[in-house]
Amino acid sequence: MPTRWKFTIEYHGAPFAGWQRQDDVPTVQNAIEQAILSFSGQKVTLHVAGRTDAGVHAKGQIAHADLEDFSKPMQPFEVAKAINAYLRPQPVSIILAEPVAPDFESRYHAKGKLYRYRVINRYPFLAIDKGLAWHVRKPLDAQEMRKAAGYLIGHHDFSTFRDAECQAASPVKTLDRIEITERDYDGAGGREFHFDVSGRSFLHHMVRNIVGTLSLVGEGKWTPEDLKTALDARDRRRGGPTAPAEGLYLMKVFYDE
C-alpha cells in the first residue's frame, strides 16, 4: 500500500507559468513531479492546497502525493533531500516531507491560508528586490490604508475584487484579517509594506485586487469610504488596479492539529 506524503514547498514564481501542470511551459507542479520521477522512478500526481498564478511566490505551499515504498527505508528528511537534489537549479525547494494519514487532503482539509503582499515604497528603482515586490514610487499612508482595510474584514460579496475569469461558485468570502505593517527599507527614506491577508478561501486575483485598490487610498486618490463604496458596488469595474503577481507570497496553509 502506498504512503501518502505531505510536502511543504517554497518557490520563486518568476520562471514558472504558475503551479498547475501545463504542456510546453515550465510550472511548479511539472518541476516537482519530474524530480520525484527522477528520484524514485514513480510517476505521481501532486495535489495542492491552492494553485498559484504565474509569477506568484510561495514560502509555505502544501501538496500531497502517494508514493510506493522505496527500495530501502528512508527518513522524511532523506525524502526531501532526494527530491531537492533533482529540483536544482530550479528555484523550488521541498522544505519538509511528512508521511500522513491515507485520507489526508491538502486542499479539502485546509482551514485557511495566509498570503503576504510586499510593496517597496521609494522613488529609486529596485536592484535587490526586483521581481520580489511591487515597486510603488508615490508615498503611501499606512494609517489610511488600515482604515480602508477594516471595511473588508468579515463576510462579504467580493465581486469588486474578483477577476473576470474566476471560476469560484460564489463571490461571497470571509476575510479573517488584513494586517498592514511598514518598516524601514533602505535607511534612505524607503519603506517596505507587508499586507498580510488571511481567510478560508479566496477568489482569483482577490488579494492582488485588494492591494491594488488599497494603494489608491494610500496615495490619497481615494478615501477609505471610497473603498467601502466600491465593495458595496459588487462590480469589478468599480475597484482599483490589480497589483503585480511578483509581490504576492503564499505564506502558510492552516490545518487542524
Name the residues annotated as catalytic: 53
Spatial distance between the Cα atoms of 201 and 154, rounded to a whole number of angstroms: 12
Give the three-class secondary structure for 183. strand
**Bridging pattern class, strands 57-67 and 248-254:** parallel
Question: Do 64 and 83 contact (CB within 8 A), yes or no?
Answer: no
Spatial distance between the Cα atoms of 135 and 126, rounded to a whole number of angstroms: 7
Spatial distance between the Cα atoms of 226 and 151, rounded to a whole number of angstroms: 10
Spatial distance between the Cα atoms of 180 and 193, rounded to a whole number of angstroms: 7
Spatial distance between the Cα atoms of 77 and 95, rounded to a whole number of angstroms: 9
Spatial distance between the Cα atoms of 160 and 81, rounded to a whole number of angstroms: 43
Nearest one of 239, 243, 50 to 133, comparing CA atoms: 243
Kind and range of the H or E element at 80? helix 76-87
Q: From residue 235, how far is each of 59, 163, 204, 227 by CA, in Å?
A: 32, 10, 15, 12
DSSP 243: P
Return all residues near 125 (Cβ < 8 A) that are at least 6 apart.
135
